[in-house]
């Protein structure tokens, strides 16, 4: 209280000095906010001390955020080309990074879904799209974008969004070009792909103001499909390749099941999944043990909430530490071993564990297929 009285006396004495007055008011506002929030801190979940304005951001390692939190408390249709290129790389007897090939294969599946066509791996337009998407993902995980999540009003500063999210803007511009090209061949009576279906909904929604089916949303939805579908699937495949090399016994079991159910004369189909419990268990364990997405996307509470005795105030940014769930020794008997049997019942049939949260937490109307 004495400190506040002292600040007030200083404010009165520097009324004719505007810079000093501005600094004093800023300090006063920060201290007032600090004291106001301090009353409820005793009920907050355990964690590092929070600073005014910055919160706990200075305690976070943005390269390994999940470690910081813990310390605080249609692919088969395109896979033959990928396999052929993997075989060529193997025959050359040189080290190579499979991420490039898996990323191309997965992205081509999404391109087929969105645009009704696939690209050659060496297509310059296709390579530019992949490069921009990868840069946008790296850009999003940087310090400044995360700071804007905590302090969103900084986005109102002219030039800040354009400079920090430059790659994301380039992805949207590039996607807009593809949509414009698609429009030139669009026939309202046919649905060749996702873009055609969305364009048809845009035409229907013209009579309804405020509809989410509009020209601005189409490229946004397209980018979401690329960013959320490509990288997660590609990383899962790369981890699966590594684990199969490290565990040849598990690789043999998967191979036997594939030969038994699918054989070698046809491509896999979705119906085969129900008859391949061990392969499904290996895919799920790859995402679980590999920690594909260590932390979930930031969310914000829309009301005051009590969770297990802790107080979570309205407007609080919440990030789920998925890694801590996937490595919880009270749930997983061998969290530091690759163990597909987690996802098999006593009869050897596939079962999904409740603690399996590879991408996000909370209820979802969607369905992720391994």
In a domain, 62, yes or no: no
Q: Which residues are CB-contacts of 316 (< 8 A; sequence separation ≥ 6)?
A: 300, 301
Residues 150 and 284 in one domain: no
Count: domains in the chain: 3
Each residue's pLDDT tens digit, 195-230:
888 988 888 888 777 788 888 888 888 888 877 778
Last residue of a domain, one of 231, 246, 261: 246
The answer as to whether 99 is a domain residue is: yes
Q: Which domain holds residue 8?
A: 2-39
**Roughly what angle, to the nearest 10 degrees, separates helices 248-261 and 277-289?**
140
Label residue 166 by pLDDT band (50, 70, 90).
confident
The answer to whether residue 308 is domain-embedded is no
3-state secondary structure of 53: coil
- Considering the domain boundaries, does residue 302 fall inside one? no
Same domain, 270 and 236: no
368 — pLDDT class (breaks 50, 70, 90)? very low
- Are residue 91 and residue 227 in the same domain, yes or no? yes
95 and 135 inside one domain: yes
Please check whether residue 17 lies inside any domain of the structure: yes
In a domain, 268, yes or no: yes
| Residue 238 sits in the same domain as residue 251 | no
Contact at 8 Å (CB) between 243 and 304?
no
CB-based burial label for 237 (10 Å; 0-12, 13-18, 19+): buried
Minimal CA–CA distance to 353: which of 364, 342, 363, 362? 342
Q: Does residue 320 lie in a domain region?
A: no
Claim to verify: residue 170 and residue 115 sit in the same structural domain: yes
- The per-residue pLDDT for range 63-95, each reduced to its tens digit, is 555 555 554 444 444 455 555 655 565 556 667
Residue-wise pLDDT for 349-365, tens only, equals: 999 988 888 877 655 44
One domain for residues 235 and 108: yes
- Beta carbons within 10 angstroms of residue 293's beta carbon: 20
Q: Nearest Cα to 278, choosing from 181, 175, 370?
A: 370
Average per-residue pLDDT in the chain?
76
Do 170 and 236 share a domain, yes or no? yes
- Pair (168, 251) in one structural domain: no
Same domain, 158 and 278: no
Query: What pLDDT score was predicted for residue 283?
Result: 94
**How confident is the model over 231-256, as pLDDT tens digits?**
788 888 889 999 999 999 999 999 99
**Could you tell me if 285 and 201 lie in one domain?**
no
Same domain? 333 vs 200 = no
Q: What is the CATH number of the domain that holds 194?
A: 1.10.630.10
The answer to whether the beta carbons of residues 112 and 118 sit under 8 Å apart is yes
Domain assignment present for residue 83? The answer is yes
């Amino acid at each position: 209280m004495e400190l506040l009285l002292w600040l007030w006396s200083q404010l009165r004495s520097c009324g004719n000095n505007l810079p000093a007055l501005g600094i004093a008011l800023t300090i006063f506002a920060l201290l007032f906010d600090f004291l106001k929030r301090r009353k409820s801190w005793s009920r907050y979940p355990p964690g590092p001390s929070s600073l005014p304005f910055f919160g706990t951001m200075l305690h976070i390692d943005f390269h390994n955020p999940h470690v910081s939190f813990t310390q605080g408390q249609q692919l088969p249709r395109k896979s033959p080309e990928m396999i052929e290129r993997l075989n060529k790389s193997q025959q050359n007897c040189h080290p190579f990074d499979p991420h490039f090939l898996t990323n191309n294969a997965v992205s081509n599946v999404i391109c087929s879904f969105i645009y009704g066509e696939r690209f050659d791996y060496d297509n310059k337009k296709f390579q530019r799209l992949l490069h921009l998407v990868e840069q946008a993902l790296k850009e999003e995980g940087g310090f400044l974008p995360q700071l804007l999540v905590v302090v969103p009003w900084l986005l109102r500063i002219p030039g800040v969004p354009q400079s920090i999210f430059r790659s994301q803007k380039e992805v949207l511009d590039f996607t807009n070009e593809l949509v414009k090209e698609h429009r030139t061949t669009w026939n309202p009576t046919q649905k060749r792909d996702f873009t055609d279906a969305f364009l048809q909904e845009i035409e229907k929604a013209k009579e309804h103001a405020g509809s989410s089916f509009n020209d601005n949303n189409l490229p946004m939805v397209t980018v979401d499909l690329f960013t959320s579908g490509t990288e997660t699937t590609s990383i899962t495949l790369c981890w699966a390749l590594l684990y199969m090399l490290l565990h040849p016994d598990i690789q043999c079991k998967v191979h036997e099941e594939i030969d038994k159910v699918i054989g070698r004369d046809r491509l896999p189909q979705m119906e085969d999944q129900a008859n391949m419990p061990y392969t499904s268990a290996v895919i799920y364990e790859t995402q679980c043990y590999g920690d594909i997405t260590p932390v979930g996307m930031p969310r914000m509470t829309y009301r005051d909430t009590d969770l297990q005795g802790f107080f979570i105030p309205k407007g609080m940014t919440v990030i789920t530490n998925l890694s801590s769930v996937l490595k919880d020794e009270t749930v997983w008997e061998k969290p530091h071993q690759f163990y597909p049997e987690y996802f098999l019942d006593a009869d050897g049939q596939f079962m999904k564990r409740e603690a399996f949260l590879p991408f996000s937490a909370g209820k979802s109307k969607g369905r992720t297929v391994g």
